[in-house]
C-alpha cells in the first residue's frame, strides 16, 4: 500500500467510525467530546478546552421511526436522522452539544434534545454588516464559553484559545490547498476519498488531521498531473453523502473540482484573522466575513455568482446542486442561483439528497444523462 | 363629513383594507416609494418617511382565502420554488414574477388578469424581520435580488433564554438606527424624528385597541368569536402605524363592549365549549374550520397568532430598547419554556377547554415544537388537544374530513371533561 493509500485509508476509517474516534480520544487523553451541530460553531473553544469536537450531521440510510413522534415528515433529512439517533441515545456519551440556530428547523431542534447531554444554544446575528452584530456575537460566545467551562469543569484561557485558532486556521488553509490538489489529481483523489478527507476532520483533532492532509498533499504533488478524460463539476448544498452516491460520480468519471457544501468547504472558507481585539471578537468577525452560504443572510445574494466564478476558475463543466430534502434555506437560494446559471450559460443539475434513502438508481440515471449532455 | 362616519367595524375593515392598497397604487402613480414588508417588521421607520406599505403575507393570505393561490403557486413552481418552501412566500414570489413581467412587457400575464389578488404595486424597497421566522430573510433576499432593490434587515436573534437580554436589545436598537440611515439615503432626505414619535404613538394606540378586542374573549359566554381576530388581523399587520387600524379596532371593541352589556354573545347562547387555536389560520379553508367548530358549538377564545401584534412599547424611550423588546419577544422567537408560558396564559384568560394545534406544512417554526408544547401544556393544565394537518395558503394540504374527525374527538373530550366536572 502506498503512503497516499495508507493515509486515505486511515481518514476513511475515521470518517466511517466516529464512535471509535471518540473512544480512542477519551482513552488517550482522559477527556471527552463535545457535539457540534450544523452549521457553524465556535469549535475552537471546545478544542481549547481539551475536548474533541464531534460533528453531528446525521447518519446514512437509517429508517426513521422513533423520531416520527417528535418531527413531522417534512423536517430536513439531516435533522430526522439526528433526532432518531438522539432517541436511540447515540449522542449520550458527549459531554455537551453546541447548537447554533441559523434556520427555523434548528431553532426548534435546539429546544427538544432527547438525549442526556447538556445543550448549549447560541444565536448568530444575521445583520452581519454591522459592528453591533459582532458585539452581539461576542456576548453569545462569552456565554457559550462560560457554559462550556461550567459543564466541562475547565477554564478556557485566552492563550489556549489563540493556540486553537492558529491550529484551526492552519487546518482550513491546508484543506483549501487539498481542494485544489483534489481538483488537479482526480485519478488519485476520487469523490469518495475527497469526501472522507473532509469528513474525518469532524472527528479528529485538527492538528492531527492537518499533519495527515499535509503529508497527503506532499505525496500527491510529487507525482505528475495526469490529463483527465472525464468531466469536472462544482458541487453545492448542505452535504453530499453517502459513499454509494459518490460512487456514481466515480463511475461516470465526474471529478469534484470544487465544492460549496456546508459540511465541507463552507467550514474552511473563512479564517479567524489576526488583528485588533481578543479571540472571541475575532471569531465573531469571521462570521461577518462568511459568504455564499444559505444560512448567512446576504441581501446581495452572491452565492450564484460565487459558484459561477468557481466553475470559471476550475474549468468545471457544470454545477451539481445537491439539494438537501426539506432544507428550505437551500430551496430558497435555488431559484435565484438557477436563473443566474442559465443567464451565464452555466450548466447545472439538481439532485435530491435524502439521508434516509438507500437506493440511488434515479440519481444514477439523472447523472448519467447529464454527463452525456455535457 | 368623513367617509367612514357611521360605518360599522366590519365596513371599516373592508374600507381601510382597500384603502391601504389604493394608497400604495396612488403613491406609485405619483412616483413615490412603495415598500413591501414582513408582517411583524417595524413599519414605524418607513411610515415616518411617508413610504406606502404593502404586506406580502397578508396579500398572500387574501389570495389564499379567495381561492386564487394555486395559480400563483404554479408560477413560483415554474421559477424553481420547491413545494417545501412557505406557501405565503411562494404565492408572493409568483405574484411578484407576474408584476415584473407586466412591468417589463407592458402586458399583464393572463394569470394575473384572472387572479382574485388585490392589485398592489411592485416595491421600490423591502424591509424584513425574522421575529416570526428565518424564512422571511430568505424570501426577502430573493425579492431584493430579483427586483434589484434595497433590502432593510431587522434581525431579532432567537431568544434561546428568557428574559430578553440587554445586549440583544442593544443590537436590535442599533439596527433600527441603521435602518433609519438606510432610509435617509434611499429617500434622499433626513429622518423626521418628530413625526417618528407621532407614528410610534399612533402604533401604540392601534395596538391598544387591538388588545381590547382580544380581551373580550375572556368573558364567558364570549361576545367575541375568535375567528374574527383572523379577519381583522389584516389591519394590525398592514396599518398599525396609521389611524386606519385604530379607528377600525376602536369601533369593533366598542361594539363588542356594547354587546357584552346587552347580553349579546357571539354564539347567541349556543356556546358549549371553548378552544384555543394554535398556529396560523388555514386561510383557503377558513370558513370550513370556523363552521365545523360552530356546528359543534365550540368557540375559539384563545389564539396566540393574532397576539403576535401585541407590540406594546414605550414610545418615549429614545434608546429604542423598549421597541426592540416588543419586536423580539414574539413567542415563536423564544425558547420552548416561554412559548409554553405564553400559551398557558392565553388558555387561562380565554377559559378554554382544549386546543387545536395546526401542523402547518408551510411553517416549520410553528410546527416542529408542537408535540413538546402540547405535552407540557397537557401536563400542566390537563386539557385535551388534537393536531390537524393544514397549510396557511396551499389549499392542497388540508383535508376537511380529517379536520372534522379530529375536532369532533376534541369536542367530545372537552365535553366529557365538563360533564365530569359538574
Q: What is the pLDDT of residues A292-304, one digit of tens each?
A: 999 999 999 999 9
CB atoms A71 and B154 under 8 Å: no
Whether B266 contacts B23, CB under 8 Å: no
Q: Are strands B385-390 and A119-122 parallel, antiparallel or unpaired?
A: unpaired
Per-residue exposure over B210-232, b if at least 16 CB sit within 10 Å of its own CB, e if not: bbbbbebbebebbbbbbbbbbbb
In chain B, which residues have their Cβ closer than 8 Å to the Cβ of A124?
157
CB atoms B140 and A299 under 8 Å: yes
CB atoms B79 and A69 under 8 Å: no
State percent of chain B over pLDDT 70: 100
Model-level pTM greater than 0.95? yes
How confident is the model at residue B3, as a pLDDT?
Answer: 83
CB atoms A331 and B141 under 8 Å: no
Whether B306 contacts B331, CB under 8 Å: no
In chain B, which residues have their Cβ closer than 8 Å to the Cβ of A339?
79-80
- For residue B206, count other CB atoms closer than 10 A to its CB: 26
CB atoms A107 and B145 under 8 Å: no
CB atoms A135 and B167 under 8 Å: yes
Per-residue exposure over B112-149, b if at least 16 CB sit within 10 Å of its own CB, e if not: beebebbebbbbbbbbbbbbbbbbbbbbbbbbbbbbeb
Return all residues near B27 (Cβ < 8 A) that are at least 6 apart: B33, B34, B51, B52, B121
Taking alpha carbons only, the member of B69, B52, B51, B48 closest to residue B60 is: B69
What's the mean per-residue pLDDT of chain B? 97
Residue range A193-206: average pLDDT? Answer: 98
Taking alpha carbons only, the member of B346, B352, B355, B357 closest to residue B282 is: B357
Residues A74 and B81: their CA atoms lie apart, in Å, by 16
Cα angle for residues A85, A106, B172 (degrees, 5° grid) = 160
Interface check for A293 against chain B (CB to CB < 8 A): the answer is: no
Residue of A127, A131, A280 best to disrupt the B interface, most CBs of B under 10 A: A127
Whether A261 contacts A179, CB under 8 Å: no
Residues A79 and B356: their CA atoms lie apart, in Å, by 26
Strand order in the sheet with A318-324: A254-261, A231-237, A318-324, A348-353
φ, ψ at A10 (rounded to 5°): -65, -45
- What string of H, E and C letters represents the secondary structure of chain B? CCCCCCCCHHHHHHHHHHHHHHHHHHHHHCCCCEEEECCCCCCHHHHHCCCEEECHHHHHHHHHHCCCHHHHHHHHHHCCCCCCCCHHHHHHHHHHHHHHHHHHHCCCCHHHHCCCCCCCCCCCEEEEECCCCCHHHHHHHHHHHHHCCCEEEECCCCECCCCCCHHHHHHHHHHHHHHHHHHHHHHCCCCCHHHHHHHHHHHHHHHHHHHHHHHHHHCCCCCCCCHHHHHHHHHHHHCCCCHHHHHHHHHHHHHHHHHHHHCCCCCCCCCCEEEEEECCCCHHHHHHHHHHHHHCCEEEEECCCHHHHCCCCCCCCCCCHHHHHHHHCCHHHECHHHHHHHHHHHHHHCCCCEEEEEEECCCCCCCCCHHHHHHHHHHHHCCCEEEEEECCCCCCCCCHHHHHHHHHHHHHHHHHHHHHHC
In chain A, which residues have their Cβ closer than 8 Å to the Cβ of B165?
139
Taking alpha carbons only, the member of B105, B389, B171, B216 closest to residue A135 is: B171
Q: pLDDT band for position B21 (50/70/90)?
A: very high
pLDDT in tens, B291-310: 999 999 999 999 999 999 99
In chain A, which residues have their Cβ closer than 8 Å to the Cβ of B175?
127, 130, 132
B1-8's contacts with Cβ under 8 Å and 24+ in sequence apart are: B4/B247, B7/B251, B8/B251, B8/B255
Return all residues near A204 (Cβ < 8 A) that are at least 6 apart: A14, A21, A52
Interface check for A333 against chain B (CB to CB < 8 A): the answer is: yes
Residues A111 and A99: their CA atoms lie apart, in Å, by 10
C-alpha cell at B305: 397568532
State percent of chain A over pLDDT 70: 100
Cα angle for residues A206, A212, A217 (degrees, 5° grid) = 120
CATH number of A28-151: 3.40.50.11890
Bridge partner residues of B385 (DSSP) = B355
Find the CB nearest A301 among B134, B145, B160: B145
Whether A349 contacts A363, CB under 8 Å: no
CB atoms A110 and B160 under 8 Å: yes
Cα angle for residues A196, A198, A201 (degrees, 5° grid) = 105
In chain A, which residues have their Cβ closer than 8 Å to the Cβ of B174?
130, 132
CB atoms A335 and B336 under 8 Å: no
In chain B, which residues have their Cβ closer than 8 Å to the Cβ of A336?
141-142, 145-146
Return all residues near B420 (Cβ < 8 A) that are at least 6 apart: none
Give yes or no for residue B1 having a pLDDT over 80. no
Residue range A48-53: average pLDDT? Answer: 98
CA dist B296 → B25, B274, B326 (Å): 43, 10, 37
Interface check for A3 against chain B (CB to CB < 8 A): the answer is: no
| ipTM, two decimals | 0.96
pLDDT in tens, A345-362: 999 999 999 998 888 999
Distance to chain A for B86, nearest Cα, Å: 8
Query: From B174, which residue of chain A is nearest by alpha-carbon distance?
Result: A132
Find the CB nearest B153 among A110, A126, A135: A126
CB atoms A127 and B153 under 8 Å: yes
Residue range B236-241: average pLDDT? Answer: 97
How confident is the model at residue A12, as a pLDDT?
Answer: 97
C-alpha cell at A318: 457544470
For chain B, which residues make up each domain, given as ranges? 1-421
How confident is the model at residue B138, as a pLDDT?
Answer: 98
Bridge partner residues of B298 (DSSP) = B273
Whether A141 contacts A122, CB under 8 Å: yes
pLDDT in tens, B192-220: 999 999 999 999 999 999 999 999 999 99
CB atoms B81 and A331 under 8 Å: yes
Distance, first Cα to last Cα, chain B: 55
Distance to chain A for B204, nearest Cα, Å: 26
Interface check for A354 against chain B (CB to CB < 8 A): the answer is: no
How confident is the model at residue A358, as a pLDDT?
Answer: 83
Note which residues in 84-143 of chain A have CB less than 8 A from chain B. 101-105, 107-112, 121-127, 130, 132-133, 135-136, 139-140
Residues B325 and B164: their CA atoms lie apart, in Å, by 7
Find the CB nearest B85 among A72, A127, A331: A331
CB atoms A105 and B364 under 8 Å: yes
Residues B148 and B142: their CA atoms lie apart, in Å, by 9
Give yes or no for residue B312 having a pLDDT over 80. yes
C-alpha cell at B173: 436598537
Taking alpha carbons only, the member of B385, B354, B339 closest to residue B132 is: B339
H/E run at residue A15 = helix A3-16
CB atoms B142 and A335 under 8 Å: yes
Residue of A98, A118, A124, A132 best to disrupt the B interface, most CBs of B under 10 A: A132
Where do we find the cell 492552519?
A170
CB atoms A339 and B80 under 8 Å: yes
Taking alpha carbons only, the member of B242, B296, B240 closest to residue B40 is: B240
CB atoms B141 and A126 under 8 Å: no
Bridge partner residues of A261 (DSSP) = A237
Interface check for A340 against chain B (CB to CB < 8 A): the answer is: no
Cα angle for residues B15, B18, B19 (degrees, 5° grid) = 80
In chain B, which residues have their Cβ closer than 8 Å to the Cβ of A111?
160, 335-336, 369, 372
Q: pLDDT band for position B85 (50/70/90)?
A: very high
pLDDT in tens, B154-198: 999 999 999 999 999 999 999 999 999 999 999 999 999 999 999
pLDDT in tens, B239-269: 999 999 999 999 999 999 999 999 999 999 8
CB atoms B361 and A74 under 8 Å: yes
User: How is residue A213 annotated by DSSP?
Assistant: H
Whether B388 contacts A127, CB under 8 Å: no
CB atoms A103 and B134 under 8 Å: yes
Interface check for A336 against chain B (CB to CB < 8 A): the answer is: yes
CB atoms A130 and B142 under 8 Å: no
Return all residues near B125 (Cβ < 8 A) that are at least 6 apart: B33, B35, B51, B149, B150, B151, B152, B186
Residue of B76, B330, B364 best to disrupt the A interface, most CBs of A under 10 A: B364
Q: pLDDT band for position A226 (50/70/90)?
A: very high
Residues B136 and B142: their CA atoms lie apart, in Å, by 10
Residue range A260-271: average pLDDT? Answer: 98
Amino acid at each position: 500500500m502506498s503512503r497516499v493509500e495508507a493515509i486515505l485509508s486511515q481518514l476513511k476509517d475515521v470518517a466511517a467510525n466516529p464512535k471509535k474516534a471518540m473512544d480512542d480520544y477519551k482513552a488517550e487523553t482522559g477527556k471527552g467530546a463535545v457535539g457540534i451541530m450544523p452549521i457553524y460553531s465556535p469549535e475552537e473553544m471546545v478544542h481549547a478546552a481539551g475536548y474533541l469536537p464531534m460533528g453531528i450531521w446525521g447518519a446514512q440510510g437509517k429508517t426513521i421511526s422513533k423520531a416520527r413522534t417528535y418531527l413531522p415528515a417534512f423536517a430536513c433529512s439531516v435533522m430526522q436522522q439526528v433526532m432518531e439517533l438522539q432517541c436511540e441515545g447515540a449522542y449520550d456519551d458527549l459531554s455537551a452539544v453546541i447548537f447554533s440556530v441559523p434556520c427555523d428547523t434548528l431553532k426548534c431542534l435546539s429546544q427538544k434534545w432527547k438525549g442526556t447531554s447538556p445543550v448549549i444554544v447560541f444565536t448568530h446575528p444575521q445583520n452581519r454588516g454591522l459592528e453591533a452584530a459582532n458585539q452581539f456575537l461576542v456576548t453569545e460566545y462569552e456565554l457559550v464559553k462560560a457554559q462550556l467551562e461550567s459543564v466541562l469543569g475547565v477554564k478556557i484561557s485566552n492563550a489556549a484559545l489563540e493556540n486553537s485558532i492558529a491550529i484551526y486556521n492552519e487546518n482550513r488553509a491546508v484543506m483549501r490547498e487539498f481542494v485544489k490538489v483534489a481538483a488537479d489529481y482526480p485519478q488519485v483523489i476520487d469523490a469518495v476519498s475527497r469526501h472522507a478527507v473532509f469528513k474525518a476532520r469532524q472527528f479528529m483533532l485538527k492538528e492531527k488531521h492537518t499533519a495527515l492532509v499535509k503529508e497527503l498533499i506532499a505525496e500527491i504533488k510529487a507525482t505528475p498531473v495526469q490529463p483527465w478524460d472525464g468531466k469536472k463539476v462544482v458541487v453545492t448544498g448542505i452535504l453530499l453523502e453517502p459513499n454509494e452516491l459518490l460512487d456514481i460520480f466515480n463511475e461516470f468519471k465526474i471529478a469534484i473540482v470544487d465544492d460549496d457544501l456546508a459540511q465541507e468547504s463552507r467550514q474552511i472558507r473563512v479564517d479567524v484573522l489576526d488583528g485588533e481585539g481578543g479571540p472571541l471578537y475575532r471569531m465573531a468577525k469571521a462570521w461577518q466575513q462568511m459568504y455564499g452560504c444559505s444560512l448567512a443572510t446576504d441581501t446581495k445574494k452572491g452565492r450564484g455568482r460565487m459558484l459561477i466564478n468557481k466553475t470559471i476558475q476550475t474549468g468545471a463543466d457544470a454545477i451539481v446542486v445537491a439539494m438537501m430534502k426539506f432544507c428550505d434555506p437551500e430551496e430558497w437560494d435555488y431559484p435565484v442561483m438557477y436563473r443566474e446559471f442559465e443567464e451565464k450559460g452555466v450548466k447545472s443539475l439538481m439532485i435530491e439528497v435524502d439521508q434516509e434513502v438507500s437506493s440511488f438508481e434515479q440519481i444514477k440515471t439523472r447523472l448519467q444523462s447529464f454527463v452525456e449532455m455535457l | 363629513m368623513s367617509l367612514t362616519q357611521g360605518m360599522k367595524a366590519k365596513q371599516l375593515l373592508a374600507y381601510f383594507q382597500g384603502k391601504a392598497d389604493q394608497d400604495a397604487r396612488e403613491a406609485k402613480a405619483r412616483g413615490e416609494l412603495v415598500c413591501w414588508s414582513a408582517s411583524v417588521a417595524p413599519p414605524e421607520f418607513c411610515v415616518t418617511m411617508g413610504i406606502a406599505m404593502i404586506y406580502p403575507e397578508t396579500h398572500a393570505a387574501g389570495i389564499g382565502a379567495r381561492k386564487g393561490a394555486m395559480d400563483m403557486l404554479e408560477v413560483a413552481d415554474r421559477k424553481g420554488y420547491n413545494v417545501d418552501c412557505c406557501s405565503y412566500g411562494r404565492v408572493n414570489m409568483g405574484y411578484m414574477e407576474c408584476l415584473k413581467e407586466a412591468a417589463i412587457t407592458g402586458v399583464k400575464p393572463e394569470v394575473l388578469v384572472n387572479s382574485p389578488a388585490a392589485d398592489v404595486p411592485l416595491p421600490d424597497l423591502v424591509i424584513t424581520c425574522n421575529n416570526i421566522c428565518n424564512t422571511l430573510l430568505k424570501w426577502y433576499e430573493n425579492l431584493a435580488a430579483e427586483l434589484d432593490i434595497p433590502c432593510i434587515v431587522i434581525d431579532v436573534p432567537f431568544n434561546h433564554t428568557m428574559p430578553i437580554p440587554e445586549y440583544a436589545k442593544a443590537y436590535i436598537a442599533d439596527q433600527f438606527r441603521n435602518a433609519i440611515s438606510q432610509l435617509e439615503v434611499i429617500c434622499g432626505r433626513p429622518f423626521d424624528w418628530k413625526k417618528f414619535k407621532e407614528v410610534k404613538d399612533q402604533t401604540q394606540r392601534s395596538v391598544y385597541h387591538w388588545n381590547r378586542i382580544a380581551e373580550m374573549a375572556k368573558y364567558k359566554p364570549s361576545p367575541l368569536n375568535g375567528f374574527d381576530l383572523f379577519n381583522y388581523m389584516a389591519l394590525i399587520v398592514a396599518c398599525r402605524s396609521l389611524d386606519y387600524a385604530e379607528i377600525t379596532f376602536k369601533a369593533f371593541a366598542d361594539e363588542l363592549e356594547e354587546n357584552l352589556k346587552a347580553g349579546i354573545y357571539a354564539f347567541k347562547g349556543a356556546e358549549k365549549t371553548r378552544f384555543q387555536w394554535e398556529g396560523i389560520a388555514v386561510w383557503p379553508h377558513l370558513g370550513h374550520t370556523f363552521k365545523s367548530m360552530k356546528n359543534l358549538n365550540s368557540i375559539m377564545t384563545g389564539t396566540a397568532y393574532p397576539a403576535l401584534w401585541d407590540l406594546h412599547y414605550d414610545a418615549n424611550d429614545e434608546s429604542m430598547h423598549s421597541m426592540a423588546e416588543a419586536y423580539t419577544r414574539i413567542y415563536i422567537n423564544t425558547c420552548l419554556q416561554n412559548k409554553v408560558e405564553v400559551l398557558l396564559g392565553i388558555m387561562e384568560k380565554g377559559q378554554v377547554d382544549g386546543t387545536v394545534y395546526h401542523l402547518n406544512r408551510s411553517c416549520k417554526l410553528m410546527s416542529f415544537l408542537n408535540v413538546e408544547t402540547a405535552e407540557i401544556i397537557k401536563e400542566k393544565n390537563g386539557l385535551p388537544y388534537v393536531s390537524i394537518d393544514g397549510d396557511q395558503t396551499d389549499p392542497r394540504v388540508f383535508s376537511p374530513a380529517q379536520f372534522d374527525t379530529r375536532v369532533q374527538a376534541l369536542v367530545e373530550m372537552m365535553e366529557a371533561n365538563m360533564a365530569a366536572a359538574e
